[in-house]
Structure 1
Amino acid sequence: MTDLTHESHPQITARLKRAHGHLAKVIAMLEDHAPCSDVAQQLFAVEKAITNAKRVLIHDHIDHCLTSEDGSAIEDFKTITKYL
C-alpha cells in the first residue's frame, strides 16, 4: 500500500481536533440552553475549522498527488474539486 501521509496531515489533524472541541462545546451549550447567538458563534467556529482543514487537504493533494504519469491526473483533479 502506498504511504498517503503528507507534511500537512498533522496540521489537518490539529484543525479537526479543534473542530471536534468546538462541536463538543456546541452540544454542551445546547444542553445547557445557552443563548442562540453564542451557539451560532461556536457553530461558525466548527464550520471554519472544518473548511480550513478541507482546504489544506485539497491543496496538498493537488500539489503533491496529481501527476500525469498514469494519465489519471485530470480525473483525479475533477474528483477532488467536487469537494471544494
Structure 2
Amino acid sequence: MTHPHRHASHPRIVSRLKRAEGHLRSVSAMIEEGRPCLEVAQQLQAVESAIRNAKQALIHDHMDHCLDAETDHDRAELKAISRYL
C-alpha cells in the first residue's frame, strides 16, 4: 500500500473542485431547463477555468515541494507532470 500524499494546499484545491462540481451541476440544470446556449457556454467556460486553475495549483505545488531537479527520477517526473499544464 502506498502512503498518503498530502500537501498543505490540498484542502484549498479540494474546496475549489467542490465549488466547480456544484457549478457543473448548475450548468446541467440550465441545459435541462432549456436556457440559451450562449449562457450555458459561458458557464461551462467558467467551470473549465475553475478546474484548470485547480489543476495548475496542484501541479505547481507538487513542482515546488516534491521535486528536486538534481535527481534523474525527479527530472523525469517534472517533464511528465509539466505536460498537464
TM-score using structure 2 length: 0.90
| 3-state SS of 2:72 partner | coil
Structure 2 partner of 1:8: 9
* In structure 2, distance between residues paired with 1:39 and 1:58: 29
CA offset at residue 82 of structure 1? 0.9
Identical positions, percent: 55
- Which structure 1 residue ranges, 5 or more long, are not aligned? none
Q: Does 1:55 align with 2:56?
A: yes
AA at the equivalent of 2:31? L
What displacement does 1:69 show?
6.8
Q: Tell me the TM-score normalized by structure 1.
A: 0.91
> Match of 2:47?
46
C-alpha distance in 2, partners of 1:69/1:38? 48
- CA-based RMSD of the aligned residues comes to 1.4
Name stretches of at least 5 consecutive residues in structure 2 with no aligned partner: none
SS in 2 for 1:83: coil
Q: How many residues align?
A: 84
> Which aligned pairs between 1:66-81 and structure 2 lie closer than 5 A?
66-68=67-69, 71-81=72-82
Alpha-carbon offset, residue 72 of structure 1: 0.7
Amino acid at match of 1:76: E
Aligned equivalents of 1:68, 1:50: Cα separation in 2:
27
Partner residue of 2:33?
32
Aligned residue in 2 for 1:64 = 65
Amino acid of the residue matched to residue 41 of structure 1?
A: Q
